[in-house]
Chains A and B, each alone.
Chain A
Amino acid sequence: MSEVIVVTSGKGGVGKTTTSANVGTGLAKLGKKVCLIDTDIGLRNLDVVMGLENRIIYNLVDVVEGNCRVKQALIRDKRNPGLYLLPSAQTRDKSAVSPEQMKKVVGHLKEQFEYIILDCPAGIEQGFQNAIAGADRALIVTTPEVSAIRDADRIIGLLEANSFGKMDLLINRIRPDMVKKGDMMSAADVVDILSIPLIGIVPDDENVVISTNQGEPLVGNDSPAGEAYLNISKRILGQEVPFLPLEKKIAFFTKISTIFQKG
């Protein structure tokens, strides 16, 4: 049995593509057969984050239009044997694919993969409708900001109106130091407002920028975000993983840095 997960947020720039790349890679590292689909037609990015941009021959639109078979468009990941990417088209727009066509492609991929991760474009227009069409489950990505949470709430409302099944919340770019001072909303505040189950908290981590620059997802690395993403991947599989103690970790790092500053 396979599960189709859409990664969505409403607002742009909150970390949908980063989350898709890391959760997909994480699930593959945990031994699952995973297919990532970039549904952001016209603004493709998942290939770059995965470091696979030089291997694209065919894309999602080619598959839909019958220019190639699905298998021909799939790109195998460099490092993880069970991981594939179906890239988006860069020279077309969202109207090139319909929700029915998307469902068909996803249905076809379900035969070969255990997990299909759909990276949804920002917005609530056709690109969003396409991405959610074939999905059974949604990861709603937000940051602890008023604008991002407002858009996440709108997305949750739209998914509920479509009687969408399972929804989980991923809070990205939390800064424990700011939360501690009361300068940023805490994860608990965000969960309280959006009232959907929390699947993970990813701390703001410069390693994410480094990993994106290199085109290598950081999931499973010894970095705060890498650890958080691996835990999220495990929770998707149904494993019970305790949430990372963010505050403690930061306190420890600050202690170390103050020692160095003194020296």
Chain B
Amino acid sequence: MKKLSIKHIFRRKKPGQVAKDRLKILLISDRVNLSPEMMELIKADITKVISKYMKIDTANMEIQIGKQKPVLYANIPILDLNKQGSLNV
């Protein structure tokens, strides 16, 4: 228990950085009037579609709405391009 809390303190992000990170996510949904839940749904659907054709790293994928203009950016790391064989549609 004690060990865990010490670990926790060392790993903790600075409050200033926490605020910045929270704001970034908050403003993306504010700007396009899209809730974070909706973003998750979009993310899940994109994952589903792309996974049909290639193996992707879902843990490290990023989906964002642009800051200046409303553009949807998707950064999806590919793990394996050759998934054609496993396609069973």
B85: interface (CB < 8 Å) = no
In the assembly, what is the distance between CA of A186 and CA of B68, in Å? 21
Interface residues of A in 145-175 (CB under 8 A from B): 145-146, 149-150, 153-154, 157
Whether A183 sits at the interface, judged by CB under 8 Å, is yes
Contact A182 B14 (CB under 8 A): yes
Give, as a whole number of angstroms, the nearest-CB distance from A182 to chain B.
Answer: 3
Q: Does A80 contact B (CB under 8 A)?
A: no
- Are B16's CB and A182's CB within 8 A? yes
Which residues 128-151 of A sit at the B interface, judged by CB distance below 8 A? 144-146, 149-150
Instruction: Write out the residue numbers on chain B whose beta carbons fall within 8 Å of the beta carbon of A182.
Output: 14-17
Interface size class of A (residues with CB under 8 A): 20 to 34
**Contacting residues of chain B (1-40) with chain A, CB-CB under 8 angstroms:** 14-17, 19-20, 22-24, 26-27, 30-31
Most chain B CB within 10 A, of A154, A186, A193, is at: A193
* Complex Cα gap A80–B21 (Å): 44
A184 within 8 A of B: yes
Q: Is the CB of B17 within 8 A of A157?
A: no
In the complex the two chains form, is B27's CB within 8 Å of A189's CB?
Answer: no
A192 to B24, CA, bound (A): 10
Partner of B19, one of A145, A153, A195: A145
Query: Does B83 count as interface, using CB distance less than 8 angstroms?
Result: no
A193 touches B24 (CB 8 A): yes
Pick the contact of B20 from A150, A181, A185 — CB < 8 Å? Answer: A185
Most central of B15, B20, B67, B68 by chain A CB within 10 Å: B20
Known: A182-B17, A183-B14. A149 touches B30 (CB 8 A): no
Interchain CA distance A185-B15 in the complex, whole Å: 8
- CB A144 to nearest CB in B, in angstroms, measures 8
- Given A146-B19, A185-B19, A195-B67, answer yes or no on A153-B14 (Cβ-Cβ < 8 Å): no
A150 interface neighbour in B15, B17, B30, B68, Cβ under 8 Å: B30
Nearest CB in chain B to that of A184: its residue: B16
With both beta carbons as reference points, the residue of chain B lying nearest to A153 in the complex is identified as B27
When A146-B19, A182-B17, A183-B14 are in contact, do A195 and B31 touch as well, CB less than 8 Å? no
A68 near B: Cβ within 8 Å? no
**B24 / chain A contacts, CB cutoff of 8 Å:** 193
B27 touching A184, Cβ below 8 Å? no
Q: Which residues of B contact A144 (CB under 8 A)?
A: 19
Query: Known interface pairs A157-B31, A182-B14, A184-B15. Does A146 touch B22 (Cβ–Cβ under 8 Å)?
Result: yes
CB of A179 closer than 8 Å to a CB of B: yes
B17 CB to nearest A CB, Å: 7
- Bound complex: CA A117 to CA B30 (Å): 29
**A185 and B16 in contact (CB under 8 A), knowing A146-B22, A195-B67, A195-B68?**
yes
With both chains docked as a complex, state the minimum distance between the C-beta of A150 and any C-beta of chain B, in angstroms: 6
Partner of B26, one of A150, A178, A181, A189: A150
Seen from chain A, the residues whose Cβ lies within 8 Å of a Cβ on chain B are 144-146, 149-150, 153-154, 157, 178-179, 181-186, 189, 192-193, 195
The 7 closest A-B pairs by CB, nearest first: A182-B14, A182-B16, A183-B15, A185-B16, A189-B20, A146-B19, A184-B16
